[in-house]
C-alpha cells in the first residue's frame, strides 16, 4: 500500500472517535431506537417504504404541532414576527409532506396488495397527531375523538385541544385587540364546533386588505394563514390522488370510504373570510 493510499484512509484532522465522556451523533438522535422502530409484519418488499413514509410523516407532524402552538402563543402576545417565522416553517414542512406522497406513489396496487391484509384495521385515520393538527387549524368535530377512547392520555390531550382555541381563534382575538370590530358571538362561541364565517370578521379582514400599509402586520398574518391553508389543502389533495392511484375506490383499512372520505375532507375551509374577500375586493 502506498503512502498516498494510506493518507487517503486517514480520518479528517480533529475528528472525534472516543465518545465515552461526551454525546455522539447517534446518541443525541437516539438512532438505535429510531432505526429499530421499523417492524414489517409481512415479507413484502414494499412494506418498508410504507412504514418509513408514515413514520417520517408523524415526525414532521410533531414539528408542525410544535410550531403552530408556539405561533399561537406568540400571537397572543402580539409578537407577530416570531409567529410569522413559525407559520412559514409549517408551510415549508407541508411542502416536504406533499413530496413524500410522490415517493409513496412508486408503490403499485399489486405491491400494496402483497401486505395490505396484514395491516388489520390500522389506518392514518387513527393518527392522533393529524387529528390534533385538524383541531388546531379549526376543523373540530367531537366524534373524531372516538378512535382514541382506549388511550386515555391521548384522548384527554385531544379533548383539551378540541375545547381550546384554534389558530384562527387566536388570530381573531388579535384583530379585536388591534381595534377591529369582531363579533362577541364569534369570540365566545362554543369552540368544540367547526368555525363558521362571520360578517364582522369578513369586514375586518377586508378593511385590512383595502389599506394594507396601515395594518401591515395583520395583513401579513392573513397571508401567512392563506399560505398555511393552501399548503395544507395541497397535502390533502396529494394524499387523495395517491390513495386513488394505489387502491382506487376501495374502502380504507380503517373502515372509511377511502377516496370518498378524503374528497369530503377537501371541502372544509379553515379560514373562510380570507378566501371570500378575494372575490369581494
Residue 257: pLDDT band with limits 50, 70, 90: low
Q: Is 206 annotated as a binding residue?
A: no
Q: Is 116 annotated as a binding residue?
A: yes
Residue 3: pLDDT band with limits 50, 70, 90: low
pLDDT of residue 1 exceeding 60, the answer is no
Q: Is 66 annotated as a binding residue?
A: no
In this predicted model, what pLDDT tens digit does every residue of 129-167 receive, in sequence order?
999 999 999 999 999 999 999 999 999 999 999 999 999
The structural domains of the chain, ordered by start, are: 44-280 (1.20.58.480)
| Mean per-residue pLDDT, 101-113 | 93
Q: Is 25 annotated as a binding residue?
A: no
pLDDT of residue 22 exceeding 90, the answer is yes
| Predicted pLDDT of residue 51 | 97
* Minimum mean pLDDT range among 8-17, 26-35, 97-106, 158-167: 8-17
For the chain, percent of residues with pLDDT exceeding 70: 96
pLDDT of residue 110 exceeding 80, the answer is yes
> Model pTM?
0.91
pLDDT of residue 200 exceeding 60, the answer is yes
Q: Is 219 annotated as a binding residue?
A: no
Q: Is 54 annotated as a binding residue?
A: yes
Q: What secondary structure does DSSP assign to the chain, as a single string?
A: --HHHHHHTSPPTT-----TTS--HHHHHTHHHHHT----SSS-TTHHHHHHHHHHHHHHHHHHHHHHHHHHHHHHTT-HHHHHHHHHHHHHHHHHHHHHHHHHTTS-HHHHHTTGGGGTT--GGG-HHHHHHHHHHT---GGGGGGGTT-HHHHHHHHHHHHS--HHHHHHHHHHHTT----HHHHTS-TTS-----HHHHHHHHHHHHSGGGSHHHHHHHHHHHHHHHHHHHHHHHHHHHHHHHHTTPPPTTSS-THHHHHHHHT--SSHHHHHHHHH-
| Mean per-residue pLDDT, 103-122 | 93
pLDDT of residue 8 exceeding 60, the answer is no
228: which 3 cell numbers?
398555511
Q: What is the mean pLDDT of the chain?
A: 92
Q: Is 53 annotated as a binding residue?
A: yes
Amino acid at each position: 500500500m502506498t503512502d498516498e493510499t494510506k493518507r487517503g484512509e486517514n480520518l479528517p484532522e480533529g475528528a472525534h472517535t472516543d465518545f465515552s465522556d461526551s454525546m455522539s451523533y447517534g446518541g443525541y438522535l437516539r438512532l438505535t431506537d429510531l432505526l429499530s422502530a421499523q417492524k414489517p409484519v409481512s415479507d413484502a418488499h414494499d412494506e418498508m417504504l410504507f412504514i418509513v413514509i408514515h413514520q417520517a410523516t408523524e415526525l414532521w407532524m410533531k414539528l408542525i404541532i410544535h410550531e403552530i402552538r408556539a405561533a399561537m402563543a406568540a400571537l397572543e402576545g402580539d409578537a407577530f414576527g416570531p409567529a410569522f417565522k413559525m407559520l412559514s416553517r409549517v408551510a415549508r414542512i407541508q411542502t416536504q409532506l406533499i413530496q413524500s406522497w410522490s415517493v409513496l406513489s412508486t408503490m403499485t396496487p399489486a405491491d400494496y396488495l402483497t401486505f395490505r391484509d396484514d395491516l388489520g384495521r390500522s389506518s392514518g385515520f387513527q393518527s392522533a397527531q393529524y387529528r390534533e393538527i385538524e383541531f388546531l387549524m379549526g376543523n373540530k368535530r367531537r366524534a373524531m375523538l372516538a378512535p382514541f377512547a382506549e388511550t386515555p392520555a391521548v384522548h384527554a390531550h385531544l379533548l383539551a385541544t378540541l375545547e381550546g382555541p384554534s389558530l384562527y381563534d387566536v388570530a381573531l382575538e388579535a384583530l379585536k385587540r388591534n381595534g377591529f370590530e369582531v363579533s362577541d358571538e364569534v369570540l365566545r362561541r362554543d369552540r368544540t364546533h367547526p368555525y363558521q364565517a362571520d360578517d364582522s370578521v369578513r369586514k375586518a379582514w377586508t378593511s385590512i386588505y383595502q389599506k394594507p400599509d396601515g395594518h401591515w402586520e395583520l395583513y401579513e398574518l392573513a397571508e401567512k394563514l392563506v399560505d398555511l391553508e393552501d399548503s395544507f389543502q395541497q397535502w390533502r389533495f396529494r394524499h387523495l390522488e395517491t390513495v386513488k392511484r394505489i387502491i382506487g375506490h376501495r374502502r380504507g383499512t380503517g373502515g372509511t370510504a377511502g377516496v370518498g372520505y378524503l374528497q369530503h375532507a377537501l371541502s372544509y375551509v379553515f379560514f373562510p373570510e380570507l378566501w371570500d374577500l378575494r372575490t369581494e375586493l
